[in-house]
Structure formats: structure tokens, C-alpha cells
Structure 1
Amino acid sequence: MARTREFDTEAAVSRAMELFWTRGYEATSVRDLTQHLGIGQGSLYAAFGDKDGLYRAALEHYRTTLAAAALRSLEEGADVRAAIRALLTERIRIAVENDGRGCLAVNAVCERLPRDAATRRTVREMQEASREVLVEVLRTAMERGEIAARHDPDAVAAFLITFLNGLLVSSKITPDARSLEPLAELALTVLG
């Protein structure tokens, strides 16, 4: 008779996300995970297949919680400049918290690519979702005359995502929001 799972997988994924985010994939062992999650190795393997499966679940959890919340706030922002500024500064704040742990998605790219195709797909999907929302927000703002229409919204969205990725890598080197926030202001000048 098969045993029923005796732990909350969603809570386990959330806790694993925090551990991977703090330590990275390579520095987190299966033993670290089982101790941190309070589950046995057999339970981890039964629920997630292996460490890679749990890592992918953690990245997906990041995408559907923190990354999705950032996109919702962007879509709900009335003033496009203020909404993009808030998005950038909030990402900076999250990245520099906890001794500059950075952004989980950017950390995953820096640590796992090019050899991990699953991580590449997950992060690419996150970035594509962000780009699509940004394009729509920018296009609407351009049509309303809120921002200059001198650049293609697709190019501006791609620039902002590329800029943010670089900014998040820089936050690992200089985990100081006060020194990074002026860079976000400079990036906003592309909006005209």
C-alpha cells in the first residue's frame, strides 16, 4: 500500500525557493533541502523526482508569485512612468535584501546556463511574459501621448528587460539600492 504524502508540497516548494535563492543551486544539497523542508529524501524524490525537479518547481513558484505580482502592479499602474519606476525600484529592493541575494531568475541564468535547458525555458517564459506586458503598457501610453512614440514599444520593452537583468546582476556586486536607483531613473529617459 502506497503511503500518502505527509507534507504540504506548495509550502515545501516555497521554502525550497527561498533556500535556492539564498544559496544557489550548486551550493544546495539534497540533504540541505530535506533538513530545511523537514521531509525525508524519499518524500522529496516521490514528490519532485529529484533536486532538479524541485528546482524547476521553485523557479515556477517564483514566476507565479513574485514575478507575476510585479507584472500585475505594472498593468494596474495609471501613470506608466511611475509604474515602470516602481517596478524597477521594487526589483532593486528585493535584489539587495538578504545580503544581496539578487533575483532568483537572474541567479538561475548566471549559474545554470547554458547547460540547463529547463531553466532556460522557464526564465525565457518569465521574460517573455514581462516583455508582452511592457509592450502593451507602453503601446497604450504612447497612444495616449503619455510617453514619446519615437521608439518601437517592442524595442523599449526589450531594452527595459535587458537593463533590468543587468541591474540585477549589478545588485549582486553592489547590493545598495541607493546607488542603483539613479540608474533606473536614467533608464526611464528612454520613454521621452
Structure 2
Amino acid sequence: MARTREFDTEAAVSRAMELFWMRGYEATSVRDLTQRLGIGQGSLYAAFGDKEGLYRAALEHYRTTLAAAALRSLEEGVDARSAIRTMLVERVRIAVEDDGRGCLAVNAACERLPKSAAIRRTVRDMQDASRDALAEVLRVAVERGEIAAQYDPHTLAAYLVTFLNGLLVSSKITPDAHALEPLVEVALAALG
């Protein structure tokens, strides 16, 4: 008879996400994880398979919580330009918090790719969701006449996601929101 799990898996994933986010995958040992989560090594392996399984769960948690909140914020903007500006600036501010921890998804891409196809899929899914949400905001903005129809909304959204990825990598080098925020205005110039 299998033993029942004696810990809150969701809380464990959330704590693991924070640890991976602060230290990175390679610098976080299984011992660090078991100590932070307050579980035994056997429990970790039984619940997640291995360290990478827990890392994938942490990335998925990031996607469904923080990344999803950023996409929802796009829907709350008064106009497309303001909504996109707010989303980009907020992502920079989060990235420079806690000594420049960056963005967990971008950190994962920089540290784990191309080694892990599963991590690549998870990060790509997050990128695709961001691009699709931005494309919809831009499509509606073009229809309303808020922005020029100079570029296809999907292409423009892909550009903004690429810009944001670069900005988030830059935030690791220069963890200063005030230095990075003016770059957002340059990217917004592409909206016409």
C-alpha cells in the first residue's frame, strides 16, 4: 500500500520556485531544496521524479501565477500603449527586485537551454502566451485607431516579447529599473 503524501505539494512548489529564482537551477542542490521545503529526499523524488521535475513544476507555477498576472494586466489598460508600457515596466521592476533575480522564465532559458527539451517547451509556451496576448491587444488597438497599422500585430507582439526578453537579461547586468525603464519608451515607438 502506497503512503499518502504528507506535505502540501503546491506550497512546496511555490517555495522551490522562489529558491530556483534566487539561485538558479545549477546552484540549487537537492539538499537545498529538501531543507527549504522541509521534506525528505525520498518525498521529493516521489512527488516530482527528480530535481528537474521540481524545476519544471516551479516554472509551471510561475507561468500560472506571476506570468498570468502580467498578461491579465494587459486587459486592464485604458489604451494599448499604456497597458503595454505598464506591463513592460512592471516586469522590469520585478526583475530587479531582490538583488536582480531577473525573470524565472528568461533565467531558465539562459541556464537550461538547449540541455532540456522539457524546459524549452515550458518557456516557449510562456513566450507564446505573451505574444498572443500582446497580439490581441495590438489588434484591437489598430481597430480603434490607437496605434498605426504599420506592422502586423502578431509580428509587433513578437518584437515586444523579444525586446522584453533582452531587457530582462539586461536587468541581470544592470539591476536598476530607473536605468532600464527609458528603454521601454524606445520600444513603444514601434507602435507608431
Is 2:17 the counterpart of 1:17? Answer: yes
Distance 2:73 2:102 in 1: 20
Aligned to 1:171: 171
- Per the alignment, residue 103 of structure 1 pairs with 103
Say yes or no: does 1:88 pair with 2:73.
no
Identity within the alignment, %: 82
**CA offsets, 1:19-61, max 9 Å, x none?**
0000000000000000000000111011111101100000000
Where does 1:49-88 land on structure 2 (aligned, <5 Å)?
49-88=49-88
1:137 alignment partner, SS class: helix
CA shift for structure 1 position 78: 2.3
Q: Provide the rounded CA distance (Å) in 1 between the counterparts of 2:149 and 2:91.
A: 26
In the alignment, structure 1 residue 157 sits paired with structure 2 residue 157? yes
| Cα deviation 1:77-128 (Å, max 9, x = unaligned) | 2211110001000000000000001000000000001111011000000010
Please tell me the residue identity of whatever aligns with 1:27: A
Counterpart position of 1:122: 122
Q: In structure 2, what residue type is equivalent to 1:187? A: A
Cα distance in 2, alignment partners of residues 73 and 56 from structure 1: 25
Please tell me the residue identity of whatever aligns with 2:133. Answer: V
Please give the secondary structure, in 2, of the residue aligned with 1:105: helix
Identify the residue that residue 131 of structure 2 maps to in structure 1. 131
Structure 1 stretches of 4+ with a deviation exceeding 2 A read: none
Task: Name the stretch that deviates more: 14-23 or 2-11.
Answer: 2-11
The equivalent residue for 1:145 is 145
Q: CA deviation at 1:76?
A: 2.4
Describe how 1:22-61 pairs up with structure 2 within 5 A.
22-61=22-61
The alignment partner of 1:97 has SS state of: helix
Shift of 1:2: 2.4
Amino acid at match of 2:75: E
Per the TM alignment, residue 3 of structure 1 is displaced from its structure 2 partner at its CA by 2.0
CA RMSD of aligned residues (A): 0.7
Letter in 2 for 1:181: E
Q: Secondary structure at the match of 2:22?
A: helix
TM-score by length of 2: 0.98
Give the whole-Å Cα distance in 2 for the aligned partners of 1:133 and 1:173: 28
In 2, distance between residues paired with 1:28 and 1:121?
22
